[in-house]
Amino acid sequence: MNTEIIRTKQYCNSLASYSRRKTRVVNIGGVPMGGDYPIRVQSMTTVDTMDTMGSVEQVIRMVDAGCEYVRITAPSIKEAQNLEEIKKELRKRGYTVPLIADIHFTPNAAELAARIVEKVRVNPGNYADKKKFEQIEYTDESYNAELDRIREKFTPLVKICKEYGTAMRIGTNHGSLSDRIMSRYGDTPLGMVESALEFLRICNDLDYHDIVLSMKASNTQVMVQAYRLLVNKLEEEGLQPYPLHLGVTEAGEGEDGRIKSAVGIGVLLEDGLGDTVRVSLTEEPELEAPVAKTMVDRYNNRVGHAAIEPVNENPVDPFSYSRRHTHEVANVGGQNVPRVIADISRLETDDYKDLKGIGHFYLPEPDKWRMNDLGADYVYSGNSPVQFMLPNGLKEILDYSAWQESTDKLNKVPLLTVDEYLAGGSKHGEINFLKLQLADLNEKLLPALKEDRTAVIILETQNEHGMAEQRRAFFKLINAEADIPVIIKRSYPDLTDDQLQIYAATDMGGLLIDGLGDGVMLGTEHAGEGRSKEQMLNLIGNYNNTGFGILQAARTRMTKTEYISCPSCGRTLFDLQETTAMIRKRTDHLKGVKIGIMGCIVNGPGEMADADYGYVGSGKGKITLYKGQDVVKRGVPSERAVDELIGIIREGGDWIEKEEA
């Protein structure tokens, strides 16, 4: 990161107490955003904008599901014009929800839409530029000439917005930065920020301020860094604190989509950033608002949480990723991937089948254990030792007292409290887990930990602002130069599946994204009583999958195929849900491979910047296939496209047969 450009690491009010960033209020059709207004929830339609009644019905379903603003794509003048019909029909039916026109490439559509709807969204990467994927060398002179060209193209829209009281979102996407930005900054968080600032400075010169900003990416690390950097740069340039629209693009569907969205959006909300949220799932748009609501509602009463020691200086660079340095203890910390510990302490584990949910399978015929990609690394059995020999590669952690009584003190390892640890009794020769909270990291314990090459912390928190408290503990360790590995542990009282995925992804992902944490553990101690063994096994299986999902979403341990699928919109050229399911069925064993599935060729290729392979709609029934950013086959009939995609993956050397996997 360029240290001349980023002079401070400041990006939020406080890293210790929850405090929402005070932003400028922007009025959007009578539903104001920013300031002390609630964090708003929004989403986008997927019906063709020319289908007036279809769009109206979908908007109504979205509003009824909790959407406070609705975005509709306007790829050309005719769709922009039809927004008037959609708006009229909605108002006739008593729906006053503010509408937002989504614009790419078409200033004339934006200028018309700005006279009709309450807000327009422009993408600074393609408002005045067509992406040619060229790396052109710009001199200062030619760069400035480009900026003049943008000013000329963009100024009319700003003037119309001013005249009509229309708000605007300047929405940067990681995947669609202009060649100009790419040539100077690369596809970096700084490039994303500069892309928006080019447009924002024009608005400022024209004294237009009804602006919302966003920095979306499919890569959660890049997305979080870009938002933080944006806030830092607004401050540094003395620009106004414009409200932020938060979103992770192409998050995917189901559990993975929810976890990925929460990792990106949640970590920013934790630090008080964000005035509106859009969760992009490859599902019906009315399913998005409840997920966003679950995220934002966590902060309704967050102020007033138990105090956390203030942070004077952030020892971590919030604008770029680097994993906290730790020494290796057995297979934890150092260069090891972050570990997943499954908590089975509330189970009587007496049957091989009990480990199925956490990815370990006993096959009686060859009399062998098999492990899938989501095989837990450790089980924590508390005071109820597992009653059979565990598979290789799976270690058991017992409470210290139970470990002391165990006949196998080598293969089982202890979990100690701070008192037990300091009492100095016998310990395991290689690895000892120690559970503690921030308050335990005192002058007595820290020096002992620094000396100990066998200790691994299991970091807990009871604080309602738990992510910040755990982060404070990491900072304390870093400042004390204690490079002991740390497992992030969280436990929640009974939650729905959606809540668990969102809360845990926010709380743990928020740390992992900053390189903090050598593993995760979701404790079961607060899960309600009265469950049957079957239900408990399901819960533990869910926790295990969520743990792996969080590590993947934070990009710290890739165990699954990653699908970067767009949420679909009026431009979409095929049924995205059906196609994603079809591609998934054939490829979900390709660990770590990233496949982009995009509804249209206009924005698709840019939006899947991160993907290894791409499947992009390029016409009715026609698909264009990519390897990275390169087109490999154009206009493939959709009936053959999945087979052809697999062929390209095979040629790329990333294919393995399902049976082998």
Binding site for ligand SF4 (CB under 6 A): 566-569, 571-572, 598-600, 602-604, 607
Structure tokens at 287: 């399913």
- Of the candidates 619, 612, 615, the one whose C-alpha atom is nearest the C-alpha of residue 578 is 615
How far is CA 287 from its chain centroid? 17
**Rounded to the nearest whole angstrom, what is the least distance from the CB of residue 132 to ligand SF4 in the complex?**
18
**Rounded to the nearest whole angstrom, what is the least distance from the CB of residue 293 to ligand SF4 in the complex?**
22
Helix, strand, coil percentages for the chain (3-state, nearest 5): 35, 20, 45
Q: In this structure, what are the phi and psi dihedrals at residue 335, rounded to the nearest 5 degrees?
A: -90, 0
* DSSP string covering 456-516: EEEE----TTHHHHHHHHHHHHHHTT----EEEEEE-SS--HHHHHHHHHHHHHHHHTTT-
Determine the Cα–Cα distance for residues 318 and 439; give it in Å rounded to an integer: 24
**Rounded to the nearest whole angstrom, what is the least distance from the CB of residue 154 to ligand SF4 in the complex?**
20
**Rounded to the nearest whole angstrom, what is the least distance from the CB of residue 606 to ligand SF4 in the complex?**
8
**Rounded to the nearest whole angstrom, what is the least distance from the CB of residue 51 to ligand SF4 in the complex?**
15
> 192 with 217: CB under 8 angstroms?
yes
**Rounded to the nearest whole angstrom, what is the least distance from the CB of residue 250 to ligand SF4 in the complex?**
8
User: Based on CB atoms, which residue is closest to ligand SF4, 200 or 600?
Assistant: 600
User: Based on CB atoms, which residue is closest to ligand SF4, 381 or 568?
Assistant: 568
User: Based on CB atoms, which residue is closest to ligand SF4, 308 or 600?
Assistant: 600
User: Based on CB atoms, which residue is closest to ligand SF4, 221 or 603?
Assistant: 603
User: Based on CB atoms, which residue is closest to ligand SF4, 32 or 621?
Assistant: 621
**Rounded to the nearest whole angstrom, what is the least distance from the CB of residue 197 to ligand SF4 in the complex?**
24
User: Based on CB atoms, which residue is closest to ligand SF4, 197 or 564?
Assistant: 564
Convert 317-329 to b/e letters by CB count within 10 Å (16 or more is b): ebbbbebbebeeb
Return the residue matching tokens 């700005």: 114
**Rounded to the nearest whole angstrom, what is the least distance from the CB of residue 146 to ligand SF4 in the complex?**
24
Determine the Cα–Cα distance for residues 564 and 282; give it in Å rounded to an integer: 10
344-to-281, 283, 350, 461, 478 alpha-carbon distances in Å: 32, 33, 11, 20, 31
User: Based on CB atoms, which residue is closest to ligand SF4, 458 or 601?
Assistant: 601
Determine the Cα–Cα distance for residues 442 and 41; give it in Å rounded to an integer: 42
> 414 with 399: CB under 8 angstroms?
yes
Q: Which residue is nearest to ligand SF4 (CB)?
A: 599
User: Based on CB atoms, which residue is closest to ligand SF4, 379 or 597?
Assistant: 597
